[in-house]
Structure 1
């Protein structure tokens, strides 16, 4: 950490300045949110802390999404909203951070304590004098929530909130009455580093769990390691990688953990997606005699489209703060310390497993005529060839979330998705946050790698949160925005078996004019309709350089979905036939839905 020393500052500084200096020390240099009646005095203090910037989001929901995307790369983010109307607008995004283990400090500017004590009827209240109602609501999606009241302990309260958000990787709610913003605190408090170390595990319990895991690792003939989402969130990428390389066990990732493991490792086998995994992945994972899940977020997960779970009884689930082994649960075991102990005691000579390279991810090489209309399966296979080292790849709920799992990530690439919470439109805000994080990482790093931020978002999802593209333009950020235009909500159409249901339709926009509408000067906008259009785009060396913001509209048939979903549908139909049940009345043929694409959309434009 790069600590600001008190000798560089006045003897006393305001509470607001103290808060922002703490975030600067954590290299969290972009603050998200919107101004409001009860937080502008706090925002005035931001200008007094050099090196920080105010993102200036277009609405609070997008601010929460952006803070989430930023924190997934930087470890923590700060979002500031105003009391009532502002914080309620943000709460959906905060709930997503809570569900998916993302460190966030949500600071709410509140009415003065005198108004709260007297229960005055102010704007942004419910008119009943209850000033804690929103605090109570927020506490359900926060690991810790507090309303600041003690002037003598306000600096300590700030430190406690930041520490909890960082260590637990969950949102923390901090309400600050407007009259406390000017509270003076000693700048010398900044000389004391935040204690971001995890509390120690009980050594006896830790040793017992480590020994049990090692016993199963040593005797397993068909073991598997699964890297889940919390490998990244709880900072155990290095430990998980070491475990994979030393044991040489086949290693897979979940959709939420994609990017945590170097996919060029010889024992990396692909993405395990439960019932819709590729056959070569299902065969290895489902028939393993021991499965070690590192950074487990969920052991069992069901949606309308697939089921996710582990079949073997010999399964060790390493959660961020606990371990589940068979039917026993060991609480209060922090994953980082546990993995460090496991690696210290691991003796590779005792492993019985005969190393065999995991079946590699199969990236089919499909040859299609240049005038052929695009399909999901073909596009996602091609994307593996275009991705490059260091890319940050963001995929929206829907077709992109499934399609990305059949791609191969280059070294040091990271994936961002919201597979559990699944709030449609999340990725546009998350893309903004990731762009800010990458911009800061480039300034702090001596690495020559130029990270690109790449967003894949459906046309329906984009329409929910498109305003944040304006903020990208405002700050000169340069993401690639691939709009997967399938004329509405295709995954829902497909899963609901309602290809003609009007409620899945959306208004057609002229997407390629959005960047100019938002004031962009240097940008690129292309409509991609055919295989030839796509190949021309990705084979252009200038297109690979992230020197401007780009919006690429990819035209797809409404009932076309990634291969994983199509395979799942076909499997279901075969099962129904064997059971003598009635099969679905329609066939999801992409060709049959081409009539929905207007003829003028079939002409590529610049």
Structure 2
């Protein structure tokens, strides 16, 4: 083909970056654009239940593949998606938001069209999105359109932020040269300034040589900006203890032992752990999750007594830091970020962490030859035996479920009890954790699970996607389970039923009716959405949970499953109880 339509050009570019699922809803200003999806081999249109859910789904998909595409219609559609787009901006998630807008002639005539504010202003929604976009384009010229689309796709991928594209309905079918697709989009990072990077490396090496008790602290942007491999190698070369934050969980191997070992022979856990500790693996140096004053005491002590902290990809939000309760006793802190590096009080703009870490890896071994590795804290893998008839609690659940997880899992935890409880678990290696700790939009994870499971199944049909969501959060975005069923996806949906908004009750209003929800028959949802290949189960005590977690059939993701976990109303992990107290105090301050 000498020429292709602009709409097809967009989707062919996305396919080149392995974006094979497009999220969103149809609307009269994007229908011609949606036709072009079906012209691209292997690409599919998810067809979400609403635009907010679609934005959440695109966010979840991107956290697996580094880029996603959301398509909405002008005005009513795009505004419904903005909460989800705002979350992607806050949490560094690459997302292309394509909005079908009225034709150029309609805009020029300022027609009083539906979906507008009735004032002839066709750019007002674009201006709204500018505040939560890395960049944007409101395309009006077919000759420059391919280059504009390439620029927007590149920026979304490189900077891991949402990008807005307004695409007029009349341009979608116009032709552009097909040969443009033969030139790959340049996804390389701008090179660091050599002098500035060299100064950073020299300073870091000096600090390492002087240090007796260094640690590495991994946060969210290490994963978002594709630095997990660099972090792994840094730990393996230096043998420094490594910790994560709640948002950084999954950013480094933790060395958890899979459920299969637990099921067959509990003694194998000890053998596996001993073997792991005898290697230079990153997992053998994992010490736990640091959340300031909410940390386990041994983790808190190890981090706060360090004399050098190498921080990678920090996002220091309140829930990520135990209400800003970090208490480093050293000023020797090096912060590696996606667009700058900071050493103590000196900032080096533009020294990006990926290239800088790669440089550091080549020379850091010689700087730490005198370092004597210290023992790292160990996370308990399984609970001590308890009576089968004993009721379930969050503390028991999050420790026990660690032994059911297996390598390669994608584990998604909703804002609330799940996001705090998962901190107590230990992930197997190569596990991806998804939790919207900073933005914290209730209901996010149901949509994100759809996106994550569609991305996961494109990579490996056997990869498990596991959601933990509260009964209250589920009710905000439950429709997206219907889309999961439509595509015959096979996630695990654990619904933690604690009779309402427990995290809110802990913060304020324990018995207030505004924290109540209408109870649902949750296990009826899958048949309601016309699922054919599914399983539902309700667990209320330790015996029922153990039967589930030791079942080989249950461990195989061959159908969509919903597990309702019955918990006491005010039950929560200890770190959430403390965080709720801090949040209540902050809310009451003048």
TM over 0.5: yes
CA contact (8 A) 1:219 1:352 kept: no
Per the TM alignment, residue 535 of structure 1 is displaced from its structure 2 partner at its CA by 0.9
Q: Distance in 1 between matches of 2:460 and 2:463?
A: 8
Structure 1: how far apart are the matches of 2:293 and 2:341? 24
For residues 532-580 of structure 1, the C-alpha deviation after alignment (integer angstroms, 9 at most, x for no partner) is 111111111100000000000000011100132346689999x9xxxxx
Give the whole-Å Cα distance in 2 for the aligned partners of 1:206 and 1:505: 54
How far apart, in 2, do the equivalents of 1:463 and 1:22 lie? 36
The answer as to 2:374 corresponding to 1:356 is yes
- Checking the alignment, whether the CA contact within 8 Å between 1:366 and 1:378 is kept in structure 2 is no
CA deviation vs aligned residue, 1:394-436 (integer Å, no higher than 9, x gap): 0000000011011110111110010000000000000000011
**Aligned residue number for residue 65 of structure 1:** 56
Q: CA deviation at 1:254?
A: 1.1
Q: How does 1:316-335 map to 2 (within 5 A)?
A: 316-335=334-353
Q: Identify the match of residue 533 of structure 2 among 522, 526, 544.
A: 522
Distance in 2 (alpha carbons) for counterparts of 1:351 and 1:213: 15
Q: 1:452 aligns with which of 446, 464, 468?
A: 464
Partner of 1:395: 413
Q: What is the CA deviation profile of residues 78-118 of structure 1, one whole-angstrom value per residue up to 9, with x for unaligned ones?
A: 11000000000000000000001000000000001111111
Match for residue 109 of structure 1?
100
* Equivalent in the alignment of 1:162: 153
Work out whether residues 263 and 409 of structure 1, in 8 Å CA contact, stay in contact via their aligned partners in 2. Answer: yes
Structure 2 residue corresponding to 1:139, chosen from 123, 130, 134: 130
User: Quick check: 2:60–2:450 contact (8 Å CA) kept in 1?
Assistant: yes
The answer as to whether partners of 2:250 and 2:432 remain within 8 angstroms in 1 is: yes
Residue in 2 that maps onto 1:274 = 292
Q: Which residue of 2 aligns with 1:126?
A: 117
CA RMSD in angstroms comes to 1.8
Counterpart-to-counterpart distance in 2, 1:568 and 1:15: 50
Determine helix, strand or coil for the equivalent of 1:47: helix
Larger CA deviation: 258-267 vs 513-522: 258-267
1:100 to 91, 112, 131: 91
Q: 1:442 aligns with which of 428, 439, 460?
A: 460
Is 1:513 aligned to residue 524 of structure 2?
Answer: yes
| Structure 1 residue 303 displacement after superposition | 8.1
Distance in 1 between residues matched to 2:426 and 2:128, nearest whole Å = 41
Separation in structure 2 between the aligned mates of residue 511 and residue 494 of structure 1, nearest angstrom: 24
Q: What TM-score, normalized to structure 2? A: 0.92
Specify the alignment match of 1:495 in structure 2: 507
CA distance in 1, matches of 2:351, 2:495: 42
Deviations 1:345-387 (A, max 9, x none): 2133544432113111234623321111110000111101110
Q: 2:447 aligns with which of 407, 429, 435?
A: 429
**1:570/1:34 CA distance change after superposition, 3 Å:** closer
Moved more, 416-425 or 335-344: 335-344
Q: 1:117 to 1:567 in 2, by over 3 A?
A: closer
1:308 Cα deviation from its structure 2 partner: 4.7
Could you tell me the TM-score, scaled by structure 1's length?
Answer: 0.89
Paired residues, what number?
A: 557
Residues 33-57 of structure 1 deviation map (CA, whole Å, 9 limit, x = unaligned): 0000100000011111111000000
* Residue 533 (1) aligns with residue 524 (2): no
Q: Give the equivalent residue in structure 1 for 2:10.
A: 19
Residue 206 (1) aligns with residue 224 (2): no
Equivalents in 2 of 1:108, 1:320: separation in Å? 28
Quickly say closer, same or farther: Cα 1:281–1:440, change in 2 above 3 A: same
| Aligned partners of 1:228 and 1:296 also within 8 Å | yes
- Check whether the contact 1:301–1:309 (CA below 8 A) recurs between aligned residues: no
Asked if the contact 1:478–1:550 (Cα under 8 Å) also holds between the matched residues in 2, the reply is yes
Contact 1:163 1:195 in 2 (8 A): yes
User: Which is further off, 352-361 or 142-151?
Assistant: 352-361
- Of the three residues 487, 490, 493, the one matched with 1:475 is 487
